[in-house]
């Protein structure tokens, strides 16, 4: 993994085909019917995809998704959705590797829904040896709001060195930390489009606007690096 890969925003238009989107939606809707709706709220299973030093799962949710969201993480997500996403990813592996040359494969699939008022706050997932990027695939067009942003920033304040002198993101790269909220950044915003995958390198700040109408449905995953 090289650090420049982790600062890459990227997109794969038409990542999922219409029939695949319909199957993902059928499968996730069947899963939602089969479980207690309370178990679908972010953090309800005692797990969140975000990390934050010294915070409980509930506190992390308050920092990252303060208005909540529906969240089916990789332990629960139906197997056929993983298979569809993997097939789609490897169909485009050449296109992925033009931007992320060390991309090995996807992992950590999470299905999310944002209802009106729901959004996620600015944060960096964090550069690590194993992870080069995150990506989200939009499953619907019948919503308003929910714009997705990446924020570039040339400040060295975002970076630190680990024990082996490798560049990592400075601790506290999320909305709970004052220095991170205040560091000047340049924001680039797009409306999520059904079927498209938006990639955000793991060293990039990303955030979203609240959904204002309808429901924004997405599958998220990370890209492992070799
Ligand atoms: Fe993230």
pLDDT tens-digit map of 185-224: 999 999 999 999 999 999 999 999 999 999 999 999 999 9
| C-alpha of residue 50 to centroid of ligand 1, in Å | 7
pTM assigned to the model: 0.95
Reported as a single tens digit per residue, the pLDDT across 49-88 is 887 777 888 888 889 999 999 999 999 999 999 999 999 9
| C-alpha of residue 31 to centroid of ligand 1, in Å | 24
| C-alpha of residue 204 to centroid of ligand 1, in Å | 9
CA atoms 123, 126, 131, 132: torsion sign: positive
| C-alpha of residue 200 to centroid of ligand 1, in Å | 8
Average pLDDT over residues 107-120: 97
Rounded to the nearest integer, the mean pLDDT of the chain is 95
Q: How far is CA 81 from CA 103, 120, 187, 221, in A?
A: 21, 23, 32, 12
| C-alpha of residue 206 to centroid of ligand 1, in Å | 7
Fold of 3-225: Jelly Rolls (2.60.120)
| C-alpha of residue 136 to centroid of ligand 1, in Å | 10
pLDDT value, residue 51: 75
| C-alpha of residue 142 to centroid of ligand 1, in Å | 23
Residue 130 pLDDT > 80:
yes
Q: How many CB atoms lie within 10 A of CB 212?
A: 11
| C-alpha of residue 163 to centroid of ligand 1, in Å | 24
Strand blocks (E) in the chain = 9-12, 70-72, 103-114, 123-124, 131-138, 143-145, 148-152, 159-161, 167-169, 186-190, 197-201, 205-208, 211-214, 216-225
């Amino acid at each position: 993994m090289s650090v420049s890969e982790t600062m890459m925003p990227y997109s794969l238009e038409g990542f999922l085909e219409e029939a695949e989107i319909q199957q993902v939606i059928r499968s996730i809707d069947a899963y939602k019917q089969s479980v207690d709706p309370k178990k679908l709220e972010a953090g309800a299973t005692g797990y969140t995809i975000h990390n934050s030093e010294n915070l409980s799962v509930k506190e992390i949710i308050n920092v990252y998704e303060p208005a909540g969201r529906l969240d089916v993480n990789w332990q629960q997500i139906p197997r056929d959705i993983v298979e569809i996403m993997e097939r789609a990813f490897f169909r485009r592996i050449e296109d992925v590797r033009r931007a992320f040359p060390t991309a090995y494969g996807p992992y950590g699939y999470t299905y999310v829904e944002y209802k009106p008022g729901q959004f996620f706050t600015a944060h960096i997932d964090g550069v690590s040896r194993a992870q080069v990027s995150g990506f989200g695939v939009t499953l619907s067009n019948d919503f308003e709001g929910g714009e997705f942003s990446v924020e570039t920033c040339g400040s060295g304040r975002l970076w630190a060195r680990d024990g082996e002198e490798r560049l990592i993101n400075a601790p506290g790269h999320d909305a709970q930390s004052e220095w991170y909220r205040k560091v000047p950044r340049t924001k680039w915003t797009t409306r999520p489009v059904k079927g498209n995958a938006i990639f955000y390198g793991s060293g990039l700040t990303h955030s979203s606007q609240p959904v204002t109408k309808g429901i924004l449905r997405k599958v998220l995953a990370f890209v492992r690096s070799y």
